[in-house]
Structure 1
Amino acid sequence: MPFRKMLRLPLISTLAASLWLGGCTAQVKPTSLQGEAPAQPGLSMCGTLALPSQWRPTENNTSVPLGGLSAMAWDPDDNLLHLVSDRGRVHQARPVLEDGRLVDLRPLASHRLKAQDGTPLEGKAADAESLVLAGADDGVTGNTELLIGFEQDHRVQRFALDGMPKGEPLRSTASHNAGDNESLEALARVPGIGLVAGLESPPDDMNAQDGVRHTLLFSLAENATDTRRWHYPLASPADSALTELLALEDTVTETPPRLLALERAFSPPRPLTISLSLVELLPPPQVRVTRLASLSAGEGWRVDNMEGLARLPGGEFLMVSDDNFSALQRNLLGCYRLTDKALSLSTLDLPVPTAGNATAR
């Protein structure tokens, strides 16, 4: 959503990639997210791309707009990155890593999201903000479906890759008290739980706890019943807002499910700050949060309105920005790695949350 107040590729060999690339895809340019900022413990950058405002996917007849990128997800069966725009468009692209660095993003296809009658979604109905995939890791190629979360018209809708909707949308009473532009910004599929959604900002009926603003995470069963809700403590920078959740577990484990959370804080004259946190889902409404990194423009980070996360098969993470189709902002796709230590939590030295509270450290 807008600012308020204002891979290692299995299908491409090194030789083939070198011959095919010969340089970045037209208008995709390397840049730096870190700039002159000091290094963050446990986090290292592996390349950043500045993306154009228009591009020409190989499967499309004409150029299409590229912007408002609010969510993305990696498709392991088809070796594709799916990106969603909050103007109601979905793109398929292929990231390329060389020598461990992100060097290109190859656009393959782009489609408008559509209503049941086949007409493109417009206005509030098109405000897509979050994404998970179905059928993307079953060993079958070509059967991936998109589950997209929308704000303003709060719902999760299933789509085919060509943008046609499938079935009825899922809606939840948990979003009833969310602001129009502060709803289903985050969505993850968590083994053993199912879909877990996160509201961007605290709903109207959720008060701060001990001076800490909390927002709501909730399970969203595909039969439209809500079973679990968690209170997520937002990061300390003023006006921090949750923009993405990414499940880190591939299968059900005996440890609490873990997610990576992305937050954005923009409250002028304070600098734009992007926060990354590790989240453990404990018995509701409790969560345990470990802050991993704080990327502040005030310290030299060249961040923008970062809203989407994806994890590549080599262990790299991607982070994408929503430029709001503004000439003052940028489409950025950044690659980074987190150390094993940063992603490995020992519960032995962590405080035990009390009922109804969340613990952050």
Structure 2
Amino acid sequence: MRRWRRWFGVGLLLLPTLSAAAAPLWQWQSDVVIPATTVMDVKIGELSGIAWDADEQLLYAVSDRGAVFHFQLTWDGNRISAAEPVYAANLLDSKGQRVRKGRRDSEGLAVLNANNGKAGDSQLLISFEGEPRIIRFTPAGRAIKNMELPRQLGDVRQLRKPNDGLESVAFHSRYGLLTAPESPLKGKPRTLHTLYGLSKSWSFNAYPAENSSITALETLPDGNMLVLERAWSGFPNPLVVSLRYLDFKQCPKKGACPIHDIQVFSSLLALDNFEGLTHVDGNRYLMISDDGGGDWQRTLLTAFTLE
């Protein structure tokens, strides 16, 4: 998680994407601002991961403060017109106690059994930023089981910085659980990201902006990956958010995979800090921004399509 101040009155610059012919075409559809209201005694804010449950027709979200939210969405074709919060709870451990302070930094989110035609069997995969952990939870927010991590990620001392942990998680039908540290591990080039599975890993060059870090992953219907990155190196440098496409079939046996930029957003002073990403159905997708818990940013839910 990073905190960014959002200033008004400064336009957003959409940069031309690279290798566009090899990547899906991005099209903005609509935005909805989610107010920082309180639901079931939990305040909505600092949302960092989202996942769509097709069976339950719910959007799940997790916050940096260790809470889970459920939203019902109203759609008009590819456009979203409302996101109504219907449930909220603080994350609980397997004994039913609130996850203790210092270990609540939930960041990445994926949902299992979300599209199997069975109601009531969904489970959440939540990744944590500090001590590297991925835990399986009920949708209500109670821990079920800690997941096995790729061996390279089990030691917090290998993180480049204490808060450069597992900001993202995804589930792949072939490779299983996939995750990535926000920044490359110690001893790795700062500009070479790695996506880790339990039995395999894939590396690719970071977006060419200083400190570009991974904030979200999402598996595409074709089995390839969306990667969301964010870069900022301090004022007066721009904040850069890049949505990227990784085609596993293009990865060589050795060396870095090619990666293609779908859409890049950049601004010196005005940009929503997008951290969460999910596929809805067909060519519909959502991403969400983290308001940082302050008054100068907002929680923006953006609908877009990929063709």
TM-score for the superposition, normalised by structure 1: 0.74
Q: Which amino acid in the other structure matches residue 227 of structure 2?
A: A
Q: Structure 1 stretches of 5 or more lacking a match?
A: 7-31, 57-61, 221-226, 251-256, 341-361
Structure 1 residue 173: deviation in Å? 3.1
Q: Which amino acid in the other structure matches residue 337 of structure 1?
A: T
**Aligned to 1:296, which of 266, 289, 306?**
266
CA distance in 1: counterparts of 2:76 and 2:219, whole angstroms: 26
Equivalent residue number for residue 324 of structure 1: 292
Structure 1 residue 249: deviation in Å? 2.8
C-alpha spacing 1:314/1:280, structure 2 compared with 1 (3 Å): closer
**Aligned to 1:312, which of 280, 284, 287?**
280
Q: Are 2:71 and 1:93 aligned? A: yes
**Aligned to 2:26, which of 43, 55, 67?**
43
Task: Indicate the structure whose relative CO is greater, using CA pairs within 8 Å and at least 6 residues apart.
Answer: 2
Equivalent residue number for residue 195 of structure 1: 177
Q: Which amino acid in the other structure matches residue 142 of structure 1?
A: G
Aligned-pair identity (%): 29
CA distance in 2: counterparts of 1:215 and 1:39, whole angstroms: 22
SS of the aligned residue for 2:102 comes to: helix
**Aligned to 1:271, which of 238, 245, 249?**
238
Structure 1 residue 171: deviation in Å? 3.5
Q: Which amino acid in the other structure matches residue 185 of structure 1?
A: E
Alignment of 1:103-114 (within 5 A): 103-114=81-92
Structure 1 residue 72: deviation in Å? 0.7
Equivalent residue number for residue 344 of structure 1: none
Q: Which amino acid in the other structure matches residue 95 of structure 1?
A: L
Q: Structure 2 stretches of 5 or more lacking a match?
A: 18-24
CA distance in 2: counterparts of 1:148 and 1:100, whole angstroms: 27
**Aligned to 1:237, which of 209, 216, 221?**
209
Structure 1 residue 53: deviation in Å? 1.3
TM-score for the superposition, normalised by structure 2: 0.86
Q: Which amino acid in the other structure matches residue 208 of structure 2?
A: S
CA distance in 2: counterparts of 1:54 and 1:165, whole angstroms: 25
Equivalent residue number for residue 305 of structure 2: 337
CA distance in 2: counterparts of 1:104 and 1:130, whole angstroms: 23
Matched length: 289
Structure 1 residue 161: deviation in Å? 1.6
Flag the structure with larger Rg: 1
CA distance in 2: counterparts of 1:139 and 1:285, whole angstroms: 40
C-alpha spacing 1:314/1:192, structure 2 compared with 1 (3 Å): closer
Structure 1 residue 63: deviation in Å? 4.5
Q: Which has the higher strand share?
A: 2
CA distance in 2: counterparts of 1:288 and 1:309, whole angstroms: 21
Alignment of 1:56-135 (within 5 A): 56=39, 62-135=40-113
CA distance in 2: counterparts of 1:142 and 1:160, whole angstroms: 10
CA distance in 1: counterparts of 2:13 and 2:237, whole angstroms: 17
C-alpha spacing 1:151/1:234, structure 2 compared with 1 (3 Å): same
